[in-house]
Structure 1
Amino acid sequence: MYTKILLCYDGSREGRLALREGARLAQITGADVILLAVVETVAGNALAQGADAGALVHQQADFRAILDEGHQRLSAMGLAPELRMDFGDPVAKIKGAAAETGADLVVVGHHRQGVWTRWLNRSVAAELSDALGCSLLLAQKRVEDSELFHDG
């Protein structure tokens, strides 16, 4: 069914749910896993405009820690993910990573928003659904440890 799953991980509660759901799908299908963290474009623009480079380095270190956490979680589930960190617009970078890696499923966490927030802000998930050339899973299911960590 799936041979390569791109897990987009930001360390949030929703990101952790997505990681677990995507990991369970990888276990079931035997798919390879690519773990991706995207540092938002705003930081890159600030650097280009002469802002403090130390802030970007700090943000990069934060995302490296998030990737390391995700790697540890996936390794504990018996998976060996490829790790990727990218900088820029999340939709463009996720789309590019999916195409470059040949992912046939992209898994992202679903961040619930109110009507006004959704109207005022862009929805990465909605933009991804139009941009991707593969399936997209907005993960919301709670996957229990008994499903992830089992013998056999």
Structure 2
Amino acid sequence: MLSFKRILLCYDGTREGQHALKDGAALAQSLGADVHLLSVINNTAWMQGADITAAVPVEFINESARALLDEGLEKLAARGIRATGHIAIGEPLEQIPLFASDLNVDLVVVGHRRSHGLARWWGGRHDGLLLDRVTCSVLVTMGAAADVPKTTAGAGSANDFAQAAEHHS
């Protein structure tokens, strides 16, 4: 039966990341799951431009990553959740599956940023979907109801997800 005992929350500080953190925290609380928080600093843009890479001190990158992780951990602590924090620097589509496997999680929670029109085609390099790279379940949060267009159907809340998970455990 389906049960989520170890959850990996992915947090990047964006609005979508904050929704994933909030929804994932609510789900983890309802299920009494162990929580891991992963902050991935995407260095793809830096690696493509050597001039930018040389101009950004490594200490700044490390401090930014630590500040982002601390922010997420503080938000979870404010909800009464103790989480283990992890930092990764690299492509999120590579780092998230790596941590999910290493931590042996049952569920990965990520936020989704909608793209419109040509942005879908110009959004950069995609070597594959996260779903194709993990062996556990993935919860993709869509944000607050006010942020979701009314044409979107079937998007459930984290509470609906928690109730479904409880019925299966």
For the superposition of Structure 1 and Structure 2, which TM-score range results when normalised by the shorter chain? Answer: 0.7 to 0.9
1:50-129 pair list within 5 angstroms: 51-52=54-55, 54=57, 56-122=58-124, 127-129=129-131
- Return closer, same or farther for 1:23/1:61 CA change in 2, 3 Å cut-off: same
Distance 1:66 1:37 in 2: 7
Identity %: 38
Distance 1:74 1:102 in 2: 21
- Return closer, same or farther for 1:52/1:129 CA change in 2, 3 Å cut-off: same
Distance 2:80 2:13 in 1: 19
Residue ranges of structure 2 left out of the alignment (5+ in a row): 146-158, 160-169
The Cα RMSD (Å) is: 2.4
Residue ranges of structure 1 left out of the alignment (5+ in a row): 148-152
Q: Which residue among 26, 43, 53 is the counterpart of 1:41?
A: 43
Count of residues in Structure 1 that have an aligned counterpart in Structure 2? 141
- Return closer, same or farther for 1:74/1:123 CA change in 2, 3 Å cut-off: farther
Distance 2:99 2:27 in 1: 19
Runs of 4+ in 1 over 4 A off after TM superposition: 44-47
Structure 1 residues 57-86: Cα deviation after superposition (integer angstroms, max 9, x where no partner): 223212211111110110111111000001
The normalised TM-score by structure 1 is: 0.82
1:23-42 pair list within 5 angstroms: 23-42=25-44
Give the greater-gyration-radius structure (CA): 2
The normalised TM-score by structure 2 is: 0.74
The answer (yes or no) to whether the contact 2:110–2:141 under 8 Å persists in 1 is: yes
The answer (yes or no) to whether the contact 2:111–2:143 under 8 Å persists in 1 is: no
The answer (yes or no) to whether the contact 1:10–1:63 under 8 Å persists in 2 is: no
Q: Secondary structure at the match of 1:37?
A: strand
